[in-house]
Structure formats: C-alpha cells, structure tokens
Structure 1
C-alpha cells in the first residue's frame, strides 16, 4: 500500500510539473534594467521580483487569458494581457516614471520659500525672524541677512539686486500692500507696520517672480497670513519701548475665530538712557490697533479679514548747514489704515482665490529753520493717498505637479500732494490679466510659463510681460534652475508733479541657480543679470532750504541701467547639535543713468560686496537661546547732485566707509518643561551693533555745497529688553523645535 501511494504521489507531481508554464522577461526604464519590480499574475499568488538587470522568471499553472502587473514605488503601474497555452512565454515591459509632489523638482530660481509647502530647509519662518539678532522682529530687516538684499539704513524698502526700495512690492494673501512701512522723516527708515506673527509663511523672490504679480522691477515678497488658531489665547507684551495686548477666540466647533490687538510705543525712555545721534525734539511714538476674523464655511471655503489702523508722530532737530540759521527742524504726523479681505474655495479640480485690500495713508511733514531768536515760517509737505486692490485667481490642477491658473487684477491709486506752489492730484487704474502654467514633465524636469498684460489709465499705455522658468534635477539632492522675465512698473507718483510724456519703466531678468537641499542643510548658488530701460529722469523744482525739501519731478523715460552679480547661501541645522547657522554673500556690479544722475553712475544704494552670518544656539538646560548675527557691506558711493542752467552736475562725490554691525540677542523661556502648561512666556534681550561701530549712510549738503553733515543711524548701539506672555496656548515646543 505504501508503495502504491508513493507511486501515485509521484505520478501526480509529474503531471503538475508538466502543467507549469514558464513566464519570463525584462523590465526596463529608458533602455536600462530596473531592479526590485514586483511582477505578478493578476489575482494569483504567482510572480517574481526583477534582479539587478531587470530580469524575472516564474512558473504558473494558470491557463487562458491573464494579466501580468508590474509595480514599483517610483514608476507607474503597468498591466500587460497575455494568453497562456502550453508553451513558455516572454513578456517585456517598459516603465514610465511616477510623477509626484514629493519627488518632483521645484522651480526656485530667484526665490526662497518658507512655508509648510516647502520641503527644503525653510527660511524666514516667524521664529526665524524673531530670533535673528539685529532684525528687531521685522520681516524686512531679517531679509537683509539673505542674499540679494542691500543694507540701506536711511530709507525703508527692500533694495534688491541694484534696485531702489520702490522697485520691490509686498503682498498679503495675494493682494498688494500699499504703504507697508510706517511714515517717517528724511534720513530715518520707516518700520514694518505688520506684526510678524500675523504670517505663517512667505515666498521671497529676488527676481524672475510669478506672472500673478506685477508692478515691481526688482523683486516681490508674498506673505501668507495664518488661518484658524489652534486654541483661544490672550497675549501681552511689555518693554521700555512699547506695551501691547491682544486676544484670539476660537469657536467651540473650530469653524471660526476672531481677535484684536492694541499697542502703544514711545522711544522717549530709551532716548534718555542711551546716547542718540538724532536729536528727537518729539520722540517717535505710535498708537495702533487691529481686528481680524476667519471663517471656514460648511462647503470648505475660507474667509479671512484683517484690518489695521495706526498713527505716529516725531520731530527731529539738526544743526543747519546754512550759515544764516542755527538749526533745521522737521515734524511728522502720520496716519494709516489697511484692510484685507480674502476668500478661497475648491470646486472639484478648481481652486478659486479672491482677494481685496484697501489702504489710506496720510503723511504731514513740516519743515522749518530757527535762529537763536525765532523760528522761521514752516514749509508743509502734505500727502494723502487712497488705494484699492482687487484680485481673482482661478487654478485648475492638471495632475499631481502640473496646474494652470489665470485671473484679473485691478489696482487703483488716488493721491493728493501739497507743497508750496505744487498742488497735485494723481489718479491711476492699473488693470491686469495673467495666465500661468506649472508643467511637470517628469520628476527631473519642470517648468513655469506665464504671461502678464497691464494697462495704465494714467499713462494710457499697455504692456505684455512674458515669464519663463525651468528646473532640472541633477541628482537626488542637486537641482538647477534658469529663469527669464520681463517686468514693468509705473513711474513713482511722487515724481509726477508736472506734465510729461511718460511710459512704463522696464527691466529684464536672467537668472541661473544651482541648489543642494538635504535634511537640515541647504546650499544655493545664483548668478543674475538685469537690464533696465525707460527709467525716469527728473529735474528739481521749488527747492527748499535743504536737499530734504527739494521736489524731484519726472521729465522723461530716457534712463537706463544694468545690474549683474553672483550670490552664495549656506544654511546648516545638522552639523552642530542645537546650532542653526547660515552664511550669505552677494556680489553686485550695477550702474544707472536715472533720476537726476548726469551720467551713468553706481547707485548710491548699491554695495559691491555684502556678507552676512547668523548663528543660533538653544541651551535646553538653561532654557536660553543665544543668537548672533554679523553684516559687512563695502562702502556705497555718495553724490551731491544739483541743477545748474537746466543741467544736473555733481558737485561732491565719494565713497562711504564700510558698513559693519555685530548683533547679539538672548531669549529666555522660564516655563520650559512645565507639563500641561497653558501659558508661554519669553524674555528678550537684544543688543544691536554691540561694538558701537559708527556707520554712515550718506551725506547732506548745504545749498552752495561747501558744508555737509553725515546721515547716521539714530543710535550707534541700541538695547531692547521685553517680555511676551501668551495665556491659553503653550508655544514652548515650537520654540524649541525651531532652535529659539
């Protein structure tokens, strides 16, 4: 019996072995074998895995019409129908790369992004800004520690790659922010009006930016405000300079929130403690308040509103450069309000974004001179402006990394100016249409192609501006990008004080970038060339007692210029435990013939070499963050340009001393380690320019050019100390994770 059973088992095994059919083949991608591809007969357990050369082989007892599947995480699945009879068959497969958001290369020439969307080392998160020594918690100041942004202390604005501060624009949730900086007096830069914690992310473009944005010859900063808070909270801040308080209330169903803050600042106490270079007869002071609400609709839409009002005052007294006077005085009264309303909603594959903003700004400057006996008659420079911006963007996803978006934008400016015999009314409506596509050809190659068209009612002219950027992945961590763009901008309205035949100012950007991004480290090398055309030329009308009172008036669009250079950026959070540091260097070669320049000159706001270094260390056992920053900039040129017999001439010129500043700040978190603490406290001590270097921003000259005075910062060294307390939410872990 045992012999019969063994014979029967052997017989059946032999039959089954003869019934097995061999299936083999090779799997390739771009004619190269692919290893570790799972090859299976669909709906069976039969299959194999490819070897290093892409070959596979397996046996099956299945017959008839079947389907073989080829799967791999980095490639699209492939299915091949086969007819299995009594003979071995060969099945080959050619794979296609699986395109996805994680592996796809990102177009980034000219841009640095900091948000939860960016996979590389993030820059300029709110924590980054607050903990960058010398930045004073301001976004615009923190940007000066990145490549491409010049350190210009005497005037507000982002001076990017040889461009003026007015040639860069700042946007909030897609809408233009007019008057982002506070009103100030000549020679003292205005501060950011907006609290850094209002924004959750940003994209800073130093050139070649998206077609969704316009009216900026040099660059753009796109800010994205926060959505619903995680919890309700109350915030309080106090220092010798300011006091503020606010709250955020989150609904029980977490579908809406609202909040408000109010603050007051006054520099008088610090003026009495520290030695100031500037004689403030009325110390800088301001009063501000803001409101916000955010609503998530049942259909998934999202409304956001933010409104702000502030007013500020100051008065400055300087020694007069004119021998008949003892001193010159300038007084400022400023007021500003800003409102931003945005809505976004998904409709299937479409995403709709609608944004609008309104702002009003008033600057009232009074200039006067005085002798020992009396004060002369005041000269008043009064400006009022109303600005409305409306923008609609509709986006459709094509696949995981490709999209098409387009929309319309309207920006209306209504301004009035009064100065001596000049009474100006200026109104302009800039209408724009734009179309842009993100094209993902593969995980190695992508492109951004766009075009923007604008029409100015004041100029009665139109333009068309193409934009193009390409990115290619060289290997796992290395990518390269190139970008080209044509950019237009209206002449600044403050120079339009008399009839003139004007058109759009124009610049062309050419950018090449190589970037390496890995976990905790980021390296960027970028070269650029910018060509300027149709820049405005000006002449002087109604000169006052000093250069600060002169009115420059647009004459024509005959100006031109160029800017070229190279930039380096390295950031490292990994090499040294609990230390985050970055180094940036910019080389800039720029010349311009614009404004009242008599010939092509190096701009007085452009430094040839700029070097910055930032280091941050959080000491857990001490609950202490230590932050250092250093900036060096080669001395900028300066010019004393005057009009004589209808010609502009240079009476005095030279080069400023090199700029240098070492800054230090400490951040102490006393409630570190307290479990379940619904509160967060941080004490801050910051010392700007701790070595007291006497930096000079420029020179003012007397009417005859024989006397001059240096333009210097209000204080060589400034010390800030303050405390910030939040109730209802503990931000300690966020602070630690970001190396506070």
Structure 2
C-alpha cells in the first residue's frame, strides 16, 4: 500500500510540474491617453482564458494555449481592440492603448445659452409641456412659463420674449423650423397680447437665450424652437370649459396608424369675470375672441412624414381710460383683429441623409380706433389699420458623419408685405430676405465637441448682404460637470413700423459671448451662465406726427447710429429627487444693460430691463389622491421709466424715475377625478389657479400728458385673478401619464 501511495504522489507531482511548465503568463497594461483604464476585459479569442484590468490598468493571466492567438480587449466605453500574439515557451508582455467609444448617449452636449425640453434621448428636459401647464401664474402659455427661467424679463405691458436686455421683437419663434409671424394676439397699448398657439400642440421646445444655431436668423437676442406633435397615440375627443372660455376638438387616428386628422374651435369672453373681480382696466367691450384650427399628419410608404397645421382667430376689445388732457374726460380705444397661420412640413431619410422642408404663411390684421367720448358721439375717430402678409420657406439637408458628428446646410426665404394706414397717412413695406447657411457638429470624443456654422442673408429692402459666423464648444470636466462656450454674430432688419420715410438703413447687429458651467445628474440640474452682448447699428427714431390725443405717436427711423451692451450672470437649480413627489426650481438673473437706440437721447438702461430677477417654482403631487398643488413666485427690481419727447428735431427726457419692485405669488391646484367606470377611456383635469394671491399692486410704466405735467400708471388689467376650468378627453386615458409627469 505504501508503495502504491508513493507512486500516486509521485505521478501527481510530475503532472503538476508538467502543467506548470506548459502554462505561459500573459501580462501588460491598458491605457487611454497614457492613463491606466480599469475594468477592461482581456481574453484569448475562442477560449476561456483571460483577466480584467485593475484600477491602474494592469492585468495578467496564465494560459496553456500555444501558437498564433488573438488577444481581445473590450470595455463598454472604448473601441474593441484585437492583437495578434505568438505564444511560445516564454511569458509575454502586451501593452495596449485603446480609443474611446464614441456614443450618442455618452457624448457631451453643447448647451451654452440653450435649454432643451423634448422627447429626444439627449434632451435636458428643463421645461416640458406638462411643466408649462402646471406652473402657477403661467396660464398654460409657453411665453409666460419661460419668464420663470433665467434670462427672460418679466414685462407685462406688451407681448414678446424680452431676453437678456433685448426688446420683445428681438426674439423669434419657430414651429417645426418655420418662422411664426405674429405669434401673439392683437392687443391695445398697455395690455400684452396672449399666445395664439395651444401648448398641447407641441411635444417639446428648445429655448435659446443666445448663441443659437446658424439655421436661424433675424433675431438679435434669442429664439424659441417649437416642435409639434406627430401622430396621436389614439383617437380622442376633448372639451375645455371655464367661466371665460369654451372649446372642443377631436383627433382621429387611422386603423393602420399611418395618418391622422383633427380640428378644434373655441370662444373666449372675459365679461363674466369682470362682474366678479375689481378690474383696473375699464373694458367697454370684451375682451373676446374666436379661434379654430385643423391639422393632418401622415407617413408615406417610403418613410417620409407630412405635417400640416392651420388656424384662424379673431380679437375684439374696447378700453376706456381717464384722460390726461383737460379738454375731455375720457379716452377710448377699440380693437378689431384677425389672423390666420398655416404650416406645412415634410421630413424624409435617404440613407445617411435627412431632408427637412417647411413652409408657412400668415396674414394678420389689426384695426385700432382711438377717440374721446366727445368724438365718439360726433365722429372723426382716429384709425390705425395694419395689414400684413408673411411667407416663409426653408429647407435643410443633413448628413451624419458618424454617431455624434453631422453636416447640415440649406436656404431660407422670408417675404413680408405690410400696409399701414393712419388717418391720411399710408405706408407700404415689402422685403424679401434670402438666407443660406451651413453648420457642422463635430464630436471629437465623448468629452469634447464643437458646433461651427455660418449664415448669410440678403435683404431686398435694405439692399444689403451680411455674413454671420457662429461657433460653440463643450467639454466634460467630470462625470456630471460640463463647460460650454458660445460665440455668434447676429443680424436683424430694423422694425418695419419705424420705416415711415425714405432713409438709408443697414442691418442691426449683436455679438454674443456666453460661458456656462452645468452639472446634470438624475433628478437634479444646476446651470451657471455668464454672458456679454454688444449691440451695433441699432435704429434711432424721432416722432414725426401725433395721430391721436391718446394714441402713440408715429415714429420714423432716421439712422443706424445706435449701440449698446448687456452683460450678466444667471443661476438655475432644479431638483426632483431630494423630496419625494416634490419638484422645484430656483432661477436668478443679474442684468446690466444700457442702450442708445430708438428715441433715447443718449445711452440709458432700457425701460424693459430689470437689474435683479428671481423666480421660484414648486410642485407637489399626491399620487394616491390624484391631486397636485403648484406654487410660483417672482421678484424683479423696479425698472426705469422715461418720458421722452421730440422737440426741434431732438429727443429729450422730460420725466424719469424707477418703478416699484415687481412681485407676484401664485397658486394653482389640479385634480384628476375618475369619470365613469374605472376602466373607461377618459381623462379629466380640474384646475383652480390664483394669480398674484397677495394682491401686489404692480406697475408696468406710466403714460404722460402732452405737456408732461400729468401721468397715469400702466397696470395689469386685474391685480388678483382666479381661474377655474375643466378639461375632459374621451377615448384616451392620460391619467397615469399626468401622474408620472408630475412626480
């Protein structure tokens, strides 16, 4: 037995020695830009032999394989590498430099000056459509919701997006790439027009407060790019009811889910609410309006996609104010307006190419009558009639170069034809702006990317050509931290309302410099942004006539000698993670701006620019109760005001000062009750909204008498307003989506 046992031990020792002798050690280091990379898997192809690198990038393993072999290096974030090796009787050292795997998901996003919210994978999702509906005080309007983001001023006396020291007309709004002329409803002086477009029409938006893409132009400040919905999930019927409006609509989806069509109509009238609340504005008529729209969408057999949207609306309003002049007691202004807008777009993929073609047409008419009560009885009302036809055509061809790089280019046509009639004064304005552009996205790695573009425009009215270069860079500092820089040159035609006499003008221009630091993690977002804008060739105007005792004077452009600057800092913090079922954000803007433009006699802080603006939004949803509460607050440092008149061909300041600080606290509540049976396909939202619940007496500016001795404040139509409404959908149950989007 002892002899057998000794033989077995001897055999095992010999076998062990044989195996150890035949095993070869393979070792080395894996690096990326001279830095060791951990978690890289190294294997001999078609075998089970291999290892994983340590935190310094080192690895080693043993194998009994012989001859020509292939060593494979794999890591999710890096390109797979294969190396041919020859295994003999000696250990092998293999050092490998790997390259980063370029990924559309991992790549750094250029975001200086831009906030994107859409259904795209790479969207930063800072302001989604559900956000717009649930921000207290925004009244479901996209433009109002944007004032709770940094960079947008709170201006209540006139419509428009006032971005970083720019006027409301220096921002442009696009739908599916095509320009929307007259995005806001017609209104009277001192009362801002509302959004004409329903928020539910759009599935996402990209808001750029500066440094925007070369695909867009004619905006000195920024652009808002709206993307309309594609095919609906299913057919549905919708009804909206409140004391001030009634609307209804439908969407029909085909059985093959390749096309859909729909329409809606609505009527609004503020009169019932005027009987309940103490309005600051004495409305003699309305405000009231009718709107109707229709749409169709369909996919082609080749994968193309057509979308059409058309709308028509009317506005009526009458306002009575106390006169500042001694010869009569009251002044009256009446508005009759109408507008139509049509948008047709098409997109199609051809291999590596993507074609986007869009066209839009709009017609707008605003009929204003200024008078006194005495004139109303006798005759002789002063009429300001504005009529405009606007056509836009744009085509963009894009080619993917790799996963994160692309080249795109195209051209755009904008044709404007306007007619202004003021009593005996008549003006016709026509202009065709032809544009060409090219832009490239360059993804150098997942940590560094660039966007470089150039745009050129020619105006038939100005008979001028411009060339505007733009570029932006982004670099990932750490896993969640990104730095971005953007620069751009931007041009815009002078406003047509100031071109009332023959004068040689040029494009107005601005230069943007923007630097941003952003931290984005799941449920949280932090943005810090600094900007500087330089304005040149701004239009200077002078009064040429008084068209009515209470109406604005006709102003005419005299030259392009204006200039200015705007600089500031912005902060934005949003948090959906810290507190369960609570979503909140805080934004702050510091703005230092001066301009010598329009009728300003010298460089002044613009009357629409507040030095400090802070906004806070908080939303709390109770899923088990299907009940949500929303709060918003805005504070803005008082803006300056000026009383500027023309005397002896020069503009002078008669009165000036600073408005009281603006503040507004708003609440809204929404409830999603069950309608019918539990499994019924229906969706109901009940809304209660209270704007300026503390009743702050905000002032937007002052109107002055002809001699400058008397003034009256421009104030909101009502200090505190309560809205109650119900929105019902049949054929579709969006309850769970609404609950999820509120969390």
Shorter-normalised TM-score: what interval?
A: over 0.9
Give the drift of 1:376: 4.7
Native 8 Å contact 2:343 2:360 kept in 1? yes
Residue 529 of structure 2 aligns to a residue whose secondary structure is strand
- Structure 1 equivalent of residue 578 of structure 2: 575
Q: Which residue of 2 aligns with 1:301?
A: 304
1:235 to 238, 244, 250: 238
Partner of 2:263: 260
Q: 1:120 touches 1:517 (CA, 8 Å); kept in 2?
A: no
Find out whether 1:157 has 2:160 as its counterpart. yes
**Offset at residue 730 of structure 1 (A):** 0.9
Cα displacement string for residues 385-436 of structure 1 (whole angstroms, at most 9, x for unaligned residues): 1111111111111111111111111111111111123211111111111111
Q: 1:146 aligns with which of 138, 146, 149?
A: 149
CA contact (8 A) 2:675 2:682 kept: no
C-alpha contact 2:438 2:454 (8 A) present in aligned 1: yes
Preserved CA contact (<8 Å) 1:547 1:701: no
Which secondary structure state, in structure 1, belongs to the residue aligned with residue 497 of structure 2? Answer: helix
Q: What does residue 168 of structure 1 align with?
A: 171
The number of equivalent residue pairs is 740
- Cα distance in 2 for residues equivalent to 1:612 and 1:87: 70
The answer to which of 397-406 and 257-266 deviates more is 397-406
Moved more, 306-315 or 49-58: 49-58
Shift in Å at residue 19 of structure 1? 3.2
**SS of 2:320's equivalent?**
strand
1:537 to 529, 535, 540: 540
Deviation at 1:653, TM superposition (A): 0.9
Separation of aligned partners in 2, 1:633 and 1:9: 87
Aligned to 1:354: 357
The alpha carbon displacement at 1:102 in A equals 1.8
Q: Residue 375 of structure 1: CA displacement? A: 4.5
Q: Deviations over 1:298-340 (max 9, x none)?
A: 2211111100011111111111111111211111110100000
Deviation at 1:542, TM superposition (A): 2.0
Match of 2:193 in 1: 190
Answer whether contact 1:545 1:703 (CA < 8 A) is retained: no
What is the CA distance between 1:679 and its match in structure 2?
A: 0.5
Match of 1:208 in 2: 211
For residue 576 of structure 1, report the CA deviation from its aligned partner: 1.1
C-alpha distance in structure 1 between counterparts of 2:724 and 2:373, whole Å: 37
Match of residue 725 from structure 2: 722
Matches within 5 A, 1:196-595: 196-371=199-374, 374-546=377-549, 548-595=551-598
Q: Give distance in 2, aligned partners of 1:684 and 1:738.
A: 16
1:99 counterpart (85, 102, 112): 102
Rounded to whole Å, the distance in 1 between the matches of 2:162 and 2:121 is: 25
- Residue 31, structure 1, aligned to residue 40, structure 2: no
TM-aligned CA distance change 1:515 to 1:394, over 3 Å: same
The answer to whether the 8 A contact 1:534-1:557 is kept is: yes
Describe how 1:619-638 pairs up with structure 2 within 5 A.
619-638=622-641
Question: C-alpha displacement at 1:98, in angstroms?
Answer: 1.3
* Aligned counterparts of 2:28 and 2:625: Cα–Cα separation in 1: 64
Residue of structure 2 aligned with 1:653, choices 638, 653, 656: 656
**Does residue 77 of structure 1 match 2:96?**
no
- The 8 Å contact of residues 295 and 304 in structure 1, kept in 2 or not, is answered as yes
SS at match of 2:130: helix
CA distance in 2, matches of 1:213, 1:547: 38
Offset, 1:290: 0.4
CA distance in 2, matches of 1:519, 1:14: 55
- Within a 5 Å distance, the mapping from 1:654-733 to structure 2 comes to 654-671=657-674, 675-733=678-736
Give the drift of 1:545: 3.3
1:603 deviates by 0.5
Partner SS for 1:22: strand
- Alpha-carbon separation, structure 2, partners of 1:518 and 1:53: 27
Contact persistence 2:375–2:381 (CA under 8 A): no
Cα deviation, residue 37, structure 1: 1.1
Q: Distance in 2 between matches of 1:2 and 1:449?
A: 82
Counterparts of 2:398 and 2:122, CA distance in 1:
22
SS of the residue corresponding to residue 159 of structure 1 reads coil
**1:298 match: secondary structure:** coil
Q: SS in structure 2 opposite 1:724?
A: strand
* CA distance in 2 between partners of 1:350 and 1:228 (Å): 23
CA distance in 2, matches of 1:260, 1:341: 16
1:600 alignment partner, SS class: coil
Whether the 8 Å CA contact 1:120–1:522 is kept in 2: the answer is no
Q: CA deviation at 1:372?
A: 9.7
TM-score normalised per structure 1: 0.97
| CA 1:595–1:121: 2 relative to 1, 3 Å | same
Q: Does 1:643 align with 2:646?
A: yes
Give SS of 2:169's match: helix
Instruction: Decide whether the 8 Å contact of 2:513 with 2:532 is kept in 1.
Output: yes
**How big is each residue's C-alpha offset from its partner over 1:541-563, in whole Å with a ceiling of 9 and x where there is no partner?**
22133463311111110000000
Superposition deviation, residue 32 in structure 1: 2.1
State the distance in 1 between where 2:160 and 2:659 align: 20
* CA displacement at 1:345 relative to structure 2: 0.9
CA deviation after TM superposition for structure 1 residue 677, in Å = 3.2
* Larger CA deviation: 5-14 vs 422-431: 5-14
Deviates more, 1:501-510 or 1:93-102: 93-102
Q: Is the 8 A contact 2:210 2:222 kept in 1?
A: yes
Q: Secondary structure at the match of 1:414?
A: strand
1:641 CA drift (Å): 0.7
Note the residue ranges of structure 2 that are not aligned, 5 or more in a row.
none
Which of 132, 139, 143 is the aligned partner of 1:136? 139
Asked if 1 retains the 8 angstrom alpha-carbon contact of 2:609 and 2:639, the reply is yes
TM-score of the two chains, using structure 2 as the length reference: 0.97
CA–CA distance in 2 between the matches of 1:601 and 1:309? 40
- For residues 550-584 of structure 1, the C-alpha deviation after alignment (integer angstroms, 9 at most, x for no partner) is 11111110000000111111111111111111111
Report the RMSD for the aligned CA atoms in angstroms.
Answer: 1.7
Kept in 1, the 8 Å contact 2:116–2:124? The answer is no
Q: Are the equivalent residues in 2 in contact too, given 1:641–1:652 (CA < 8 A)?
A: yes
Per-residue CA deviation, residues 96-117 of structure 1 (Å, 9 max, x unaligned), is 1112122211000001111122
